[in-house]
Chain A
């Protein structure tokens, strides 16, 4: 009997890129001279099956800056566990040198200076180069897209996803699963599906009327590779109609449905699958839990929570792979499949350093062609960031982009308090940089952008805060929706993440007066991205553009209004 442990060859991008030396410098880094494409792609082909995973691209066809989170707290069994470690703790856990390319790609510290040294990450033309290189090693490698692909940019919004679909098709994926795609509306989704040259998977996508599997999506697809039968089961985002507007896709119902996942695993095993891969948009904590509840899954390719991990996470006999977001990373997973089982694997998280990897010329031309009709709008400069202000979003409680959006809502909409959704997508803008309309749309683009203005009682605001906090900090991952905490402007609060729903949030304070929020009193609240049908108000990108234009140069002070207890 061969122990799986003997075959554990998870390699880390960090050491693969720069060896053990690292750079050990904070300032100007001649990254381009030290990093080469060959180093990034270096991989001794292993076994007989190769999987390529990319997920949560959010329509970012061009290279971007993207600062990873500083605050990413786990609760219950996940307290302090992967992926809930950040910064120096993350680097120590994975043996990443300070100042190294992996430091820059995977952690938040010293982001601005490292960004200036190492340049942007991502770009689907660069991703194409990486995919083609892997296919050079293993021509029948399986390319899997974890979803959140047809959402998140100016051009994606104005073409209803067509620009991304056209570009992604050139990469020839083999299968995909879904989340934000549904916010295009179910009719548009089916239009895309009818032309999709690869499998649309989701074992948990049901017909909401009959509570039966939806006919528009297959639960799984088989691939014959290297003499092995590979079954890929799709798992779409489980909380679609709760976290996003259900009225946009009323025909579909979702849910985790791990009983059916078990049935599907048993079914494909019964049909002779030698290896079972789940292409998931569950989010990492849910995938960890599902790996322990559903028996017989070999590999989970995890998406949704935007975690990027240099090594797979092991749950018993299942490996869970997290490949980041916004086109920053591609995971390559080579598998040794023999005698109807996975005997070993080799893994590499490949950071897409845009200045190091040569763009694929055809894909680069196609991206430019998609953008050309919108060039004037995309490139229009609407303001500038001050030298002290890096605009970023990721983090459990606030990001400077959201602080800016919340301030714009208060100012432009004459409100006491503002709220901005705790989504995890949205690239960064460096200090002292021009802010273009494209930059703004990258953090606001969606099909339900209306900025509402309404009155809420203090009690109601508290209920909202508690509700969203429970979506993030419920100790049972199956009750987590995978976003971050709602961003709040004009109001401070204290949160104890260890408490149950109803008692996490306290000391809600109206910042402009310093007074505690009165449960019985009414406050004017402005916000956006409501899941309710018929929400009225101007689009959020117009509200924020007006505000930035009035400011000229935007400076965002560090947010000190959220007090976190129990972290």
Chain B
């Protein structure tokens, strides 16, 4: 076989490798969440966060949040430079208390949702979403 470097090149296993999540980004998210909770403890029942375990495309990751009765649900990307993704508010006449959107993730990280209930209490849910280079399915 003729081997020439020129005619055979080109990258492969992964162009888009996720960099390690910078500590600063997570600190940004913690600060934003602390500001929202304002010292209150968040419970864990009553809020469902649906996100893929492994993102098919880190540039557009579909997520869904659902918290019956909630007045507000905020979504944070723990590892993004700008962690605030979306805040959904629900009026008293809202028929359902769920929302879905797509978000961009800078790398493997926790997606965090905080819901506020009518009595002012908070509920928290989170899930790790992996952004991977993949490549070896059996």
Contacts and interface: CB of A to CB of B under 8 A. Distances in A.
A537 B56 contact: no
Interface in B78-98: none
Contacts of B50: 259
B134 A211 contact: no
Given A243-B137, A460-B17, A478 B53 contact: yes
A208 B52 CA distance: 13
B136 A255 contact: no
Interface residues of B, number: 32
Contacts of A259: 50
B137 A241 contact: no
Contact of A463 (B11, B17, B100, B137): B17
B114 to A, nearest CB: 20
Given A414-B3, A460-B17, A304 B12 contact: no
Contacts of B56: 208, 241-242, 246, 253-255
A538 B8 contact: yes
A352 B130 CA distance: 40
A314 interface: no
Contacts of B46: none
B8 A530 contact: no
B109 interface: no
Most buried by B among A240, A255, A413: A255
A525 to B, nearest CB: 8
A180 B50 CA distance: 27
Given A412-B3, A483-B138, A543-B1, A502 B20 contact: yes
Contacts of B27: none
Most buried by B among A259, A419, A463, A501: A463
B48 to A, nearest CB: 8
B20 to A, nearest CB: 7
Most buried by A among B8, B54, B133: B54
Contacts of B53: 255-256, 476, 478-479
Nearest to B13: A464
Contacts of B20: 502
B35 interface: no
A424 B133 CA distance: 19
A401 B132 CA distance: 27
A304 B136 CA distance: 12
A425 interface: yes
Contacts of A305: 138
A484 B12 contact: no
A53 interface: no
Interface stretch (A271-279, A465-473, A504-512): A465-473
B87 to A, nearest CB: 21
B3 A242 contact: no
B11 A246 contact: no
B8 A532 contact: no
A535 B12 contact: yes
Nearest to A259: B50
A454 B15 CA distance: 12
A529 B108 CA distance: 24
Given A536-B9, A536-B10, A423 B135 contact: no
A interface secondary structure, majority: loop
A132 interface: no
Given A241-B57, A414-B3, A537-B8, A423 B14 contact: no
B11 A452 contact: yes
Contact of A464 (B3, B100, B128, B133): B133
B12 A424 contact: no
A179 B136 CA distance: 13
Nearest to A530: B12
Contacts of A479: 53-54, 128, 130
A535 B8 CA distance: 9
Interface string A239-261: 11111101000000111100100
A241 B10 CA distance: 20
Contact of A422 (B10, B11, B132, B138): B138
A452 B9 contact: yes
A304 B137 CA distance: 9
Contacts of B52: 255
Interface string B30-62: 000000000000000000001011101100001
Interface string B1-31: 1010101111111110100100000000000
A185 interface: no
A421 interface: yes
A532 to B, nearest CB: 6
Given A241-B57, A412-B3, A471 B13 contact: no
A486 interface: yes
Interface in A530-558: 530-532, 534-538, 542-543, 546
24 contacts: A180-B137, A239-B134, A254-B56, A283-B138, A413-B8, A422-B138, A452-B8, A452-B12, A454-B12, A460-B17, A464-B14, A467-B132, A467-B133, A476-B53, A478-B53, A479-B130, A483-B137, A530-B12, A531-B134, A532-B12, A532-B13, A532-B15, A536-B7, A537-B10
Given A180-B137, A242-B54, A256-B53, 16 more contacts: A179-B137, A237-B137, A239-B134, A240-B137, A243-B135, A259-B50, A412-B1, A422-B138, A423-B137, A467-B134, A468-B136, A481-B54, A481-B136, A530-B13, A532-B15, A543-B1
Interface of A: 179-180, 208, 211, 237, 239-244, 246, 253-256, 259, 283, 304-306, 412-414, 419, 421-425, 451-454, 460, 463-464, 467-468, 470-471, 476, 478-479, 481-484, 486, 501-502, 527, 529-532, 534-538, 542-543, 546
